[in-house]
Every structure is written in structure tokens, then in C-alpha cells.
Structure 1
């Protein structure tokens, strides 16, 4: 009889240990960050493997990455293709955000990159007002439609309207939700079913771990349209990636389960899967 007691006891101890581990290490809500930049001035401070580790330490399932130049995105994608969702920025270097849409050589740059590498979208780019009607922007819309990828637009409402006027079938991820108030975001999402919004560099929707009522109503009205984002627009912003993820989990925890998961990762995951279908 004693010979059977040892393995049984060992099994019980193992199960107890696993049970204790499950309680000691609660599941962390996975997130997708749709607004990460890894531009050239961050590479020395944070080499690719360390940058990827920051994203993993934040508990990210995926990170949408665009960079000035695109080499930064490719560096991270090479290290962690399962983590990085590559997005093509039309900037060769910093300082082009107010000139790129007037530079027709950008069209050839994008065409060559799209023909060579895998991308889920074009952006994040800055475009405002009537500039969204210029030939370079028209080409960007054409390429997005041709490659079945989304646009990540840092734009005012006027520019977003012009994008959809040119092609209502494109998908647009509205960076920072346009820095607009909830009632304006509501109107835009109602008018443009292919428009989604990221919450990068937006903090006013939550305080003390609670979502404010007008934002909560907006999230509930459009449960499939909002996504998270940090915006590492400068190298030092990388220090906030983990903190931002933790802060996001605090207010997400107050939402209904389905809505919480949608904003945390499902909406972004759906967009990435659509854009990358048959491309990898």
C-alpha cells in the first residue's frame, strides 16, 4: 500500500502547487497597442531587442508600429514578427510631417515599400483640411485600396471627410480620435462606418480608474470602433509604454466583459487580421 502513497502524494502536492500558482498569478488582460513609433532617434537608446521586450513586458498581444524611417519598423518586425503589426509611414525622417503630402516622390517611396514588404496600413501620417485632396494623398488612398490595408490618419474632421469622399470603402484608423470631444467623435463614427478611433495620448476619458459617463456612453454605442494606443512619438515616450498599459487595464476593468475585451485587443486584432489576410 505504501508504494502507491508516494506517487499519489506527489500528485496532490503538484496539483496544490498549480492551484496556488493560479491564484498567485492572476491573468493579466492582454492588450493591443495601435500607436507605437520606433523612429531613428530611439534606436541607440533602445535597441530592437530591448524595445520588443518593453512591448512584451507591457503584456501586449500585438503592437502596430510605424516609424520615421520605416527601417525602425522593419528592425522590430525582424526580431518579433508574431508581435509587430507593420504600418508604413510616409516619412523618411523626422521633420516631414508638414511637407510629405506636397512631395510627389513619396508616392514612389510607398509603392516600392508596399511591393517589397508586408504592411497592414499606411500611417501614421498628418493631414489636415484641404491638403487631404492633394495628389499625394489621392495616391495614398489608391494604394490603400489596392493593397487592402487601412489608413492611420492624424487628422481633423475636415480631412477625414475628404478621405472618405474620395473612397468611402477605405478603412481609416483615426489617430487620437482627432483630439475631438465625444459628441464630435460620435457624429463622425455615425457618418462613417469604416472609421475607427484610437485613444492614443487621450487621458480625459478616465480618472481614478473610472470611465467618465459621456465616454462610457460613446464606448457602449460603438463597441467595435475604439482601440488603445500609447504614441511613442519621442524616444522618452517608450518609458510610458508599460505604465500606459497598466493605466489602461485599470479603467478597462470597470467595463462590461465584452466591451472591455473589444477595446483592449479584439477590435485591433480584427483590423490587423483583415489587413494582413493572405499577406504573410
Structure 2
């Protein structure tokens, strides 16, 4: 995933070094009063792929999510069986999203693989979802037939699209369906000014903040990101991105890190980004599907 090269942390970072960095980052941020309850977290970017459920069985995975204080987690996986395992274990906690990938290694090939379509259609007939994704698509690939059919399926089933890609891909999907509801994974790994421009342009576009470490600096939120959050408090969601099995062990630490930088925002905005936006967009949507 080329976008992951844009940030400091890497999937191969030893856990001890990661935790050392994370503790330092948390200490640099203002802490909430000990008397205040922990801010609930809606984690909009969790994966539970086959190698994760092999190392962390469903009951253990759900225990990790609950210990982290997550109100809900939007989960997708390669294959979708991982998502269904977690949803069966905790339907009150897990919000299912249908990832096109049936196994690891389809990240870049799926856009030209026509067998993806019957796979998606079959799963959509069998199970309940809030979204399709997270899927990766860049630029003109968004106009390929497989991606176009995916956009049509989301419209047909009234689902969100959890899209990992650039602004060009976003524009092309919205040209296909101007009413498409898109959650922009990682905020496109783009600058906050560019993210704000996209949010201004597209009223139904939302963005998750998964796997980014550029929100805080010198004990305070980065001013550019603060402006984005204040301007669009209803359009951002937090996320961890457990794209490797090892990152499951960071979910609780990441939730606390998110609480720390959210505490530097007005309480109302912190609650919206921390959990209320996800609850309003996805949890309520799943309730209507029951």
C-alpha cells in the first residue's frame, strides 16, 4: 500500500518501539480529568482477515474491542468470513462492511477481476452490511467496469462506500452516482487543507482518520487539522486500521491516543468525531436493516 509510506509508523515496527512512541505522544497531550468517564470510541476502520482470526480467535478479538472501550467498530475482512465471525459474536458491537477481497493479495487486482462481482452479489444476498469496503482504487481505475458495478451495488442496497484512494477516484465515483455516500479512508492521506476542500465540494463525503499521526504537535492539535475538525465536526471519524494481525494488540492504546488528542477539542466536537458521527451514520443504519 503505497500510501502507508507517507507516514512515520510502519507495519514492521516492533511493538515495544511503537508503544514507546505512543506513550510519549499521549504524555504530550492534555489528559482528561480522572473523574471524567472515558470517551466512547466508534472505530470506523477495523480489519479481521484470515491471518488475524487464526492468531486472535473471535472471542479474544471481541474482548480486545470491549477492553478498549469501543462503542462500536466497523469491521471488514479478507475474506468476509472474518467479519461474519465477529458480527455473530457481538452484533451489538460490530458494524459489518463487505470487503471485495476474498484473500490477501487482491488489493490491486480486484478492479480488473470480474469474478469479484458475483462474490459481492452473493454476500449481499446472504448477509447484512452497512458499507462496501474498505477497497483500494486510484484515479481512472474508478471508471473500470468492476468498480462501476460496485458503486451500483452500494446504491442498490443503500450502503456506504469505504474508499481508500485519491481525490480523483472520489470525483469519478461521485460522477457515477452523485448521491453516493463515501467514507474516505485515511482522509486520502492528504493534507488537511485538501481534505477540507473536498468536504466543502461534496456534502455527503466523510473521512476517517485511521493510521495517521499528524493530528497533534507540541502537546496541541495541529492548527490545520483543528480548523478542519471545527469546520466539519460532523464529517470525521476515528479509526485504527488493523491491516496486519499485530495491530490488533494496539487497539486499546490507539483508542486512548485518540481520546488524548480529542480532549484538545471542545467536548461537543470531540464526542462527534470520537463516536457520535459513526453512531449516527452506521449504527442507526444497521438498526433499520434488522
Say whether the fold is shared (TM-score over 0.5): yes
Deviations 1:109-148 (A, max 9, x none): 1111011100000000000010000111111111111111
**What residue in structure 1 maps to residue 93 of structure 2?**
83
Residues matched between the structures, number: 258
The one of 254, 262, 267 aligned to 1:257: 267
Tell me whether 206-215 or 189-198 shows the greater mean CA deviation. Answer: 206-215
Which protein, 1 or 2, shows the higher relative CO under an 8 Å CA cutoff with sep ≥ 6?
Answer: 2
> Structure 2: how far apart are the matches of 1:168 and 1:68?
28
> Structure 2: how far apart are the matches of 1:114 and 1:133?
22
> Structure 2: how far apart are the matches of 1:73 and 1:210?
36
SS at match of 1:275: helix
- Give the Å deviation of 1:186: 1.0
Distance change (3 Å), C-alpha of 1:208 and 1:57: farther
**What residue in structure 1 maps to residue 142 of structure 2?**
132
**What residue in structure 1 maps to residue 177 of structure 2?**
167
SS at match of 1:35: strand
Deviations 1:141-162 (A, max 9, x none): 1111111110000011110110
**What residue in structure 2 maps to residue 47 of structure 1?**
57
- Give the Å deviation of 1:206: 1.2
The one of 234, 238, 243 aligned to 1:233: 243
> Structure 1: how far apart are the matches of 2:91 and 2:285?
15
SS at match of 2:100: coil
> Structure 1: how far apart are the matches of 2:137 and 2:284?
24
- Give the Å deviation of 1:105: 1.1
**What residue in structure 1 maps to residue 46 of structure 2?**
36
Structure 2 residues without counterparts, runs of 5 or longer: 1-32
**What residue in structure 1 maps to residue 68 of structure 2?**
58
Aligned pairs (5 A) from 1:1-280: 26-207=36-217, 209-273=219-283, 275-280=285-290
Taking structure 1 as the reference length, what is the TM-score of the superposition? 0.90
> Structure 2: how far apart are the matches of 1:193 and 1:47?
39
SS at match of 2:265: coil
- Give the Å deviation of 1:209: 4.5
> Structure 1: how far apart are the matches of 2:211 and 2:220?
17
> Structure 2: how far apart are the matches of 1:63 and 1:49?
15
> Structure 1: how far apart are the matches of 2:41 and 2:90?
16
- Give the Å deviation of 1:273: 3.6
Runs of 4+ residues deviating >3 angstroms:
23-26
> Structure 2: how far apart are the matches of 1:210 and 1:56?
28
Distance change (3 Å), C-alpha of 1:221 and 1:75: same
Distance change (3 Å), C-alpha of 1:87 and 1:112: same
